[in-house]
């Protein structure tokens, strides 16, 4: 009947029991009547109510133990109604101090909640990532409570979860007057006051009717309650006068919350649907100690400074607008200069490496993507097909691979043609969700530095090495050093998930690993990360915002050659199937430009800078002609030089050039005109130096030609060292 539900708790639903438990706590034996409701709400929830009246009590005295298994497998029994806090104390007082919450059979149990059943038990502590998540979740409740005190009855509440690096709470304001960052100090002050009150945070279960009554003034909460399945139990978290519809996973009291900060506010559709009302989402973050919070705020300030959208606007590199269309970037002349440099650079490198560059259509017959499998597996990310009215359907391509297969298949190839390398700056379209669109890094139209090579099986390793070498060389030119290689294999326990050719997989995976070892490159291996069609190598880079993403990739593909019946004539005169290698070195022009902008913090090395040289006359009348002639001379050398003859003070013009992070600013005065010299100010340096015009031009061309890699040497040359 009661308290004996060890074992498969998931079978227990709405289990109700009354007990008269005897507890021994802190050496004092006492008796108390309790009613416990053990409920499944997708999680376990323990009522903390202690019913003082004995009217409901059946009078039984249960002497029960709860049997607990710790994560290390150790087992221990405790008296029924033991709390996670008591368990923590029984282990050590230091553990009791840092334990945030208990977790029984995967469900949170508050530190002061009595446990009537055992099972797998763990303590979530301040040292765990999960502990930090519980803290942040709790701060979101604290925020809502503070808002409610500051603006009583004016705000409707949505949801307030933890997220990576912080938390948010979605609210609206009935009065229509929105919360802005200006109100943050006032809100934070109120939050701190509630922290001081050290209100216990208690979870409990209520009936649906109670819930509907309790939240009757909160239409969003009512919607959430009504959306719960009929048999779902409803739980709330209570702190002082504030009640949240919540499934638990919270700190024991508001006093636990000390170091937090509200960071921003943005619009967000209720439940992420654009047909729903727009709410305001207040973001914040929290840590257990002040140093961590400080470090995070510094990191965020730095990330904001580096954000390519901010720099993109400051330097007029690109824009996106609803008027043009969501996720469709317009490259302004400055951004276009960077992109043009990237495109010329990578195409030249690839041609030197034996690639044949092509141009193929940005839209193709839909059948091509049916044959490739994209239409079956990838349709949600593709634009809708265009019905041409004559039976033909055209599709904006989501990938370039089928186009390159057409290039290969246009002629019968023989073993002597392999490896056959085809490449293109291929424009593609993907229907990214509007919420995911971000500056240049997530767009709907993108141009990929794409390439495919067709090889015989025993050429895979050499070709793989060749591509890797190209990658590593290219990274050097961009000064990319913070990356790691990931070799992705199929999951050996789940081979039916992958293209079916065990021998090919084994051989290919061995080859990739062998190549990495041969080249002395460090890598980590990830089983189960391979594509359906073959193993791959990804290059993972750190982004300025602290995330990790794939910059480059080399993917073996056994499948597409089958689907398109791609063949070559072997030395035996028979037709054979080549292996296809998909590879991207510098990703899309959009993402790579975003990445570089953030990595360089807008201070592009000379060879990439939109403006390489700015030439400013001290006096337009006296020095303008010389300055203009010098500009023309440099431009003829394919140098991005410009003449700034605006009628402004010299100091202003120099500061302006520095704020745009232009590598070289030349000031032309009497001395320069009569000696045919330039006075040079390098970006980031307070010193100036003087050189003959000829010498400057020679050094500048060298700077550009070597991808600005020998900056130190040049710097010294500039300073005459
Ligand atoms: Zn491809």
55 three-class SS: coil
Give mean pLDDT, residues 694-717: 78
pLDDT at 283 over 80: yes
Q: At what angle do helices 333-352 and 460-478 cross, to 10 degrees?
A: 140
CA of 582 to the centre of ligand 1 (A): 4
pLDDT at 40 over 50: no
Percentage of residues of the chain with pLDDT beyond 70:
89
CA of 566 to the centre of ligand 1 (A): 14
Tens of pLDDT, residues 375-432: 988 888 999 999 999 999 999 999 999 999 999 999 999 999 999 999 999 999 999 9
Residues 712, 580 share a domain: no
CA of 402 to the centre of ligand 1 (A): 8
**Number of structural domains in the chain:** 4
Residues 159, 66 share a domain: no
Residue 715: CB atoms within 10 Å: 15
Residues 557, 533 share a domain: yes
Residues 142, 237 share a domain: yes
d(CA 629, CA 633): 6
CA of 145 to the centre of ligand 1 (A): 52
The answer to whether residue 325 is domain-embedded is no
Dihedral of CA atoms 584, 586, 588, 592 in degrees, nearest 10, equals 160
CA of 564 to the centre of ligand 1 (A): 13
CA of 656 to the centre of ligand 1 (A): 44
CA of 538 to the centre of ligand 1 (A): 14
Residues 638, 578 share a domain: no
The answer to whether residue 324 is domain-embedded is no
CA of 450 to the centre of ligand 1 (A): 7
Q: Which two tokens stand for residue 706?
A: 């070597």
pLDDT at 156 over 90: no
d(CA 566, CA 575): 9
Characterize the bridge pairing of strands 568-569 and 575-576: antiparallel
**Res 269: pLDDT:** 85
CA of 581 to the centre of ligand 1 (A): 7
CA of 382 to the centre of ligand 1 (A): 16
CA of 452 to the centre of ligand 1 (A): 6
**Res 205: pLDDT:** 86
**Res 54: pLDDT:** 34
**Res 174: pLDDT:** 61
pLDDT at 715 over 80: no
Q: CB under 8 Å to 161, separation ≥6 — which residues?
A: 137, 140, 167, 168
pLDDT at 181 over 50: yes
d(CA 536, CA 553): 7
CA of 617 to the centre of ligand 1 (A): 51
Tens of pLDDT, residues 342-352: 999 999 999 99
Residues 448, 351 share a domain: yes
Q: What are phi and psi of 105, to 5 degrees?
A: 50, 40
Characterize the bridge pairing of strands 641-643 and 613-617: parallel
What confidence tier does 710 reach under pLDDT thresholds 50, 70, 90?
low
d(CA 457, CA 508): 8
If residue 194 lies in a helix (H) or strand (E), which one and from where to where?
Answer: helix 184-197
Residues 383, 293 share a domain: no
What confidence tier does 4 reach under pLDDT thresholds 50, 70, 90?
very low
Q: Which domain holds residue 437?
A: 330-600
The answer to whether residue 83 is domain-embedded is yes
Give mean pLDDT, residues 178-201: 93
What confidence tier does 175 reach under pLDDT thresholds 50, 70, 90?
low
Please check whether residue 619 is in contact with residue 590, taking contact to mean a CB–CB distance below 8 angstroms.
no
The residue out of 543, 571, 600 marking a domain boundary is 600
Closest alpha carbon to 467 in 583, 326, 319: 583
C-alpha distance from residue 112 to each of 86, 108, 203, 243, 335 (Å)? 8, 12, 10, 18, 58
Please check whether residue 624 is in contact with residue 645, taking contact to mean a CB–CB distance below 8 angstroms.
yes
Q: Which two tokens stand for residue 445?
A: 């139209």
CA of 404 to the centre of ligand 1 (A): 8
The residue out of 569, 600, 631 marking a domain boundary is 600
**Res 680: pLDDT:** 95
Give mean pLDDT, residues 700-705: 94
Residues 410, 262 share a domain: no
To which residue do tokens 């729903």 refer? 276
What confidence tier does 176 reach under pLDDT thresholds 50, 70, 90?
low
Bond prior to 419 in cis (omega within 30° of 0)? yes
The answer to whether residue 530 is domain-embedded is yes
The answer to whether residue 285 is domain-embedded is yes
d(CA 602, CA 598): 7
Give mean pLDDT, residues 274-296: 91
d(CA 552, CA 449): 10
CA of 561 to the centre of ligand 1 (A): 11
CA of 14 to the centre of ligand 1 (A): 53
The answer to whether residue 608 is domain-embedded is no
**Chain-centroid distance, C-alpha 33:** 51
CA of 69 to the centre of ligand 1 (A): 50
User: What is the maximum span of the chain, computed from C-alpha positions, in angstroms?
Assistant: 110
Please check whether residue 431 is in contact with residue 381, taking contact to mean a CB–CB distance below 8 angstroms.
yes
CA of 503 to the centre of ligand 1 (A): 23
The answer to whether residue 314 is domain-embedded is no
Q: State which of 264-278, 541-555, 637-651 shows the largest mean pLDDT.
A: 637-651
The residue out of 579, 600, 621 marking a domain boundary is 600
CA of 398 to the centre of ligand 1 (A): 10
To which residue do tokens 């007082």 refer? 93
CA of 401 to the centre of ligand 1 (A): 4
Tens of pLDDT, residues 437-458: 899 999 999 999 999 999 998 8
Sheet arrangement for strand 688-692: 641-643, 613-617, 664-668, 677-682, 688-692
* 432: CATH: 3.30.930.10
d(CA 383, CA 429): 7
* 256: CATH: 3.30.980.10
Give mean pLDDT, residues 461-489: 93
CA of 337 to the centre of ligand 1 (A): 27
**Res 49: pLDDT:** 35
**Res 256: pLDDT:** 94
Q: Which two tokens stand for residue 202?
A: 């208690």
pLDDT at 433 over 60: yes
Is 610 exposed, middle or buried, given 0-12, 13-18 or 19+ CB atoms closer than 10 A? buried
CA of 489 to the centre of ligand 1 (A): 18
Bond prior to 231 in cis (omega within 30° of 0)? no
Residues 177, 120 share a domain: no
Count Cβ neighbours within 10 Å for each residue of 542-577 and write b for 16 or more, e otherwise: ebbbeeeeebbbbbbbbbbbeebebbbeeeeeeebe
CA of 317 to the centre of ligand 1 (A): 29
d(CA 445, CA 319): 13
d(CA 433, CA 563): 30
**Res 7: pLDDT:** 28
| Mean pLDDT taken over the chain | 86
CA of 688 to the centre of ligand 1 (A): 49
Give mean pLDDT, residues 250-270: 92
pLDDT at 643 over 80: yes
**Res 56: pLDDT:** 39
CA of 493 to the centre of ligand 1 (A): 27
Sheet arrangement for strand 44-46: 15-25, 28-40, 44-46
Tens of pLDDT, residues 60-91: 444 568 899 999 999 999 999 999 999 999 99
The answer to whether residue 204 is domain-embedded is yes
d(CA 146, CA 242): 9
Closest alpha carbon to 620 in 597, 596, 646: 646
**Res 560: pLDDT:** 93
pLDDT at 503 over 90: no
Residues 353, 498 share a domain: yes
**Res 321: pLDDT:** 92
CA of 400 to the centre of ligand 1 (A): 6
Residue 212: CB atoms within 10 Å: 15
CA of 357 to the centre of ligand 1 (A): 14
Residues 683, 543 share a domain: no
C-alpha distance from residue 218 to each of 213, 348, 385 (Å)? 10, 62, 43
Residues 166, 61 share a domain: no
């Amino acid at each position: 009947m009661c308290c004996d539900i060890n074992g498969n708790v998931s079978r227990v639903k709405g289990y109700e029991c009354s007990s008269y438990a005897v507890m021994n706590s802190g050496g004092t034996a006492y008796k108390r009547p309790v009613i416990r409701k053990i409920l499944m709400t997708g999680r376990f929830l323990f009522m903390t109510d202690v019913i003082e009246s004995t009217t409901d009590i059946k009078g039984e005295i249960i002497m029960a133990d709860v049997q607990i298994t710790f994560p290390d497998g150790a087992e221990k029994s405790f008296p029924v109604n033991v709390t996670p806090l008591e368990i923590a104390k029984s282990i050590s007082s230091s553990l009791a101090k840092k334990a945030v919450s208990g977790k029984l059979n995967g469900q949170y149990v508050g530190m002061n909640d009595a446990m009537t059943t055992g099972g797998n038990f763990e303590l979530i502590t301040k040292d765990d990532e999960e502990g930090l998540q519980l803290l942040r979740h709790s701060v979101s409740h604290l925020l809502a409570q503070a808002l409610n005190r500051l603006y009583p009855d004016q705000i409707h509440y949505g949801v307030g979860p933890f997220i990576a690096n912080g938390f948010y709470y979605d609210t609206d304001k009935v009065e229509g007057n929105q919360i802005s960052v200006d109100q943050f100090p006032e809100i934070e002050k109120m939050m701190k006051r509630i922290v001081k009150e050290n209100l216990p945070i208690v979870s409990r279960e209520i009936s649906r009717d109670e819930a509907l009554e309790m939240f009757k003034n909160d239409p969003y909460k009512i919607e959430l309650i009504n959306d719960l399945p009929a048999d779902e139990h409803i739980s709330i978290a209570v702190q002082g006068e504030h009640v949240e519809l919540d499934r638990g996973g919270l700190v024991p009291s508001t006093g636990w919350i000390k170091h937090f900060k509200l960071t921003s506010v943005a619009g967000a559709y209720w439940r992420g649907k654009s047909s729903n009302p727009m709410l305001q989402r207040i973001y914040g973050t929290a840590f257990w100690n002040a140093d961590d919070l400080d470090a995070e705020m510094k990191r965020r300030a730095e990330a904001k400074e580096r954000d390519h959208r901010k720099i993109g606007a400051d330097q007029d590199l690109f824009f996106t607008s609803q008027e043009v269309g969501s996720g469709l970037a317009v490259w302004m002349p400055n951004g276009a200069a960077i992109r043009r440099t990237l495109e010329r650079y990578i195409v030249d490198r690839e041609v030197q490496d034996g690639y044949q560059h092509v141009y193929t259509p940005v839209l193709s017959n839909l059948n091509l993507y049916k044959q490739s499998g994209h239409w079956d597996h990838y349709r949600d990310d593709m634009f809708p097909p265009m019905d041409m009215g004559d039976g033909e359907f055209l599709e904006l391509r989501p990938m370039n691979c089928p186009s390159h297969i057409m290039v290969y298949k246009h002629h019968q190839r023989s073993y002597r043609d392999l490896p056959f390398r085809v490449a293109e700056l291929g424009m593609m379209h993907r229907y990214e969700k509007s919420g995911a669109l971000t500056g240049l890094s997530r767009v709907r139209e993108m141009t990929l530095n794409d390439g495919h090579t067709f090889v015989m099986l025993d050429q895979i390793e050499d070709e793989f090495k060749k591509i890797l070498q190209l990658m590593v060389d290219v990274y050097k030119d961009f000064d990319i050093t913070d990356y790691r290689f990931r070799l992705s294999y199929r999951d050996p326990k789940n081979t039916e998930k992958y293209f079916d050719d065990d021998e090919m997989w084994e051989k290919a995976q061995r080859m990739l690993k062998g190549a990495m070892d041969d080249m002395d490159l460090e890598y980590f291996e990830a089983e189960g990360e391979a594509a359906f069609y073959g193993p791959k190598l990804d290059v993972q880079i750190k982004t300025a915002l602290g995330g990790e993403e794939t910059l480059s990739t080399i993917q073996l593909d056994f499948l597409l050659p089958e689907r398109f019946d791609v063949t070559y004539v072997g030395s035996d005169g028979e037709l054979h199937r080549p292996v296809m290698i998909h590879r991207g070195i510098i990703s899309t022009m959009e993402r790579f430009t975003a990445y570089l902008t953030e990595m360089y913090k807008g201070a592009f090395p000379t060879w990439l800078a939109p403006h390489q040289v700015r030439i400013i006359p001290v006096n337009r009348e006296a020095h303008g002609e010389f300055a203009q002639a010098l500009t023309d001379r440099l431009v003829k050398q394919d140098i991005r030089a410009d003449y700034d003859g605006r009628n402004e003070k010299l100091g202003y013009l120099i500061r302006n050039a520095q704020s745009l992070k232009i590598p070289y600013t030349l000031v032309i005065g009497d001395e320069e005109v009569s000696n045919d010299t330039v006075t040079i100010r390098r970006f980031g340096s307070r010193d100036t130096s003087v050189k003959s015009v000829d010498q400057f031009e020679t050094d500048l061309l060298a700077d550009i030609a070597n991808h600005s890699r020998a900056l130190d040497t040049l710097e010294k040359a500039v300073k005459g060292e």
